[in-house]
């Protein structure tokens, strides 16, 4: 297959980890007879510096002309005092909204070789293999009215039936090719939007008789994610609950340097990026863990290109290299020699 990928390295360790992911994509293309054409664009602080805008028109056009986007990370102390509205993070919100990427997927999978790094007891973290599906373009973060006066402030939580339907369908489809279970998370004992959410899930489940459905209240779900995380398969929820639960779930498996994410819509176009930020404290040293970026590239192959075999090959290579004891600095034990970003990426390429 022939695909065009827009690569937006961004700031800090973003360029270091995306360059590792691009090497892996190039090897996959050679090995499986695909052509991946990479085009490069600016986003975040790098785009502000060059063009005065965190998501410039040129970048939007490059993404528009591509089949999927691979992003590094944005932000850093240099831009912390910039006015709100022209900060690196605005580039992320803008690109998600611009392309209508309503479904944010965050898989969290325990890596046996890294269980010691989990804040949970090893036996609790073992066997965790869940996916948080967060609604990304609606809800409290975008609802109107949204305003602030000296006396008070208002944010609005609103969802249309159609917005709920498309994210719920996505969750059911994902559950089908995973372990067949959807946990829908809401606050239906208090919120009208949650009561509509629950109603839509109940309607949709008739079309997916092979998928088991449960409803959980968000506060209870927050607790169960810590007490019994292995019980979850697909967790689907609205924007703010998903923001919080996905960060909570992300620590279960240990390192921030390991976690990929996908933001997609129904036609296959998607944005793929590590969960971690720009790592200003380690930027430029060549020691960042590229696993999250490499695993994000695997998600791109699976969800945007339908290349499941290729995606699994990358995921297995990452597992194997870790099991063989090769670690970047964030994962290495005190007396272990840590590999640089390039050295660790070489191990992955060899494995593939
Ligand atoms: P961060 O994720 O950049 O770093 C947190 C800690 O984890 C740091 O000690 C960092 O060195 C370490 N770390 C992160 N990724 C790593 C990797 N791949 N390998 C090894 N160690 C890694 O979060 P922080 O420090 O809160 O934010 C730094 C900047 O990144 C801020 O400007 C923030 O706004 C931005 N940010 C951007 C995100 C994005 O682009 N999606 C997400 C989160 C933060
Ligand atoms: Mg968040």
Helix then strand then coil, in percent of the chain rounded to 5, is: 45, 20, 35
Cα(246) to centroid(ligand 2), Å: 8
Is residue 247 among the annotated active site residues? yes
Atom of ligand 1 at shortest range from CA of 290: 18
pLDDT digits (tens, 9 = 90+) for 180-228: 999 999 999 999 999 999 999 999 999 999 999 999 999 999 999 999 9
Annotation says 129 is catalytic: no
Q: Can you tell me the mean pLDDT for 247-253?
A: 89
Angstrom CA distances, 258 to 105, 288, 299, 315, 337, stand at 15, 11, 13, 11, 19
Which of 26, 32, 37, 219 is labelled catalytic? 219
Question: Is the pTM of the predicted complex or chain greater than 0.90?
Answer: yes
pLDDT, tens digit, 9 for 90 and up, residues 27-77? 999 999 999 999 999 999 999 999 999 999 999 999 999 999 999 999 999
pLDDT of residue 265: 95
- Rounded to the nearest integer, the mean pLDDT of the chain is 96
Active site includes 243? yes
Return the CATH class of domain 1-109+254-352: alpha beta
Q: Is the pLDDT of residue 14 over 80?
A: yes
Domain ranges of the chain: 1-109+254-352, 129-251
**Confidence class for position 334, pLDDT limits 50, 70, 90:** confident
Residue closest by Cα to atom 5 of ligand 1 = 279
Q: Which CATH architecture has domain 129-251?
A: 3-Layer(aba) Sandwich (3.40)
Please give the radius of gyration of the chain, using alpha carbons only, rounded to the nearest integer.
20
């Amino acid at each position: 297959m022939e695909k065009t990928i827009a690569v937006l390295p961004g700031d800090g360790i973003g360029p270091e980890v995306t360059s590792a992911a691009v090497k892996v994509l190039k090897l996959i293309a050679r090995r499986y007879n695909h052509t991946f054409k990479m085009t490069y664009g600016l986003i975040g602080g790098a785009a502000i510096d060059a063009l005065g805008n965190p998501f410039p028109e040129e970048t939007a056009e490059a993404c528009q002309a591509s089949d999927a986007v691979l992003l590094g990370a944005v932000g850093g102390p240099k831009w912390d005092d910039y006015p709100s509205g022209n900060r690196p993070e605005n580039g992320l919100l803008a690109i998600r909204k611009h392309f209508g990427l309503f479904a944010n997927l965050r898989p969290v999978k325990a890596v046996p070789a890294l269980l010691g790094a989990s804040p949970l007891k090893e036996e609790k973290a073992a066997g965790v293999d869940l996916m948080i599906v967060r609604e990304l373009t609606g809800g409290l973060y975008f609802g109107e009215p949204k305003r602030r006066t000296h006396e008070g402030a208002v944010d609005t939580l609103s969802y249309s039936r159609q917005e709920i339907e498309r994210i719920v369908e996505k969750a059911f489809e994902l559950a089908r090719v995973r372990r067949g279970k959807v946990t829908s998370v809401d606050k239906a004992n208090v919120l009208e939007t949650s009561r509509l959410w629950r109603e839509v899930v109940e309607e949709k489940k008739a079309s997916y008789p092979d998928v088991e459905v449960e409803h959980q209240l968000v506060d209870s779900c927050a607790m169960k994610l810590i007490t019994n995380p292995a019980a979850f398969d697909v967790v689907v929820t609205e924007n703010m609950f998903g923001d919080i639960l996905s960060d909570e779930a992300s620590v279960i498996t240990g390192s921030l340097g390991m976690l990929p994410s996908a933001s997609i819509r129904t036609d296959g176009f998607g944005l793929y990026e590590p969960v971690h930020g720009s790592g200003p404290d380690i930027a430029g040293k060549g020691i960042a863990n590229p696993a999250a970026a490499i695993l994000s590239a695997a998600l791109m192959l699976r969800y945007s290109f339908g290349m499941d075999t290729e995606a699994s090959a990358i995921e297995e290579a990452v597992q194997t290299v870790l099991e063989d004891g090769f670690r970047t600095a964030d994962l290495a034990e005190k007396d272990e020699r840590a590999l640089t970003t390039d050295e660790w990426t070489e191990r992955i390429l060899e494995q593939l």
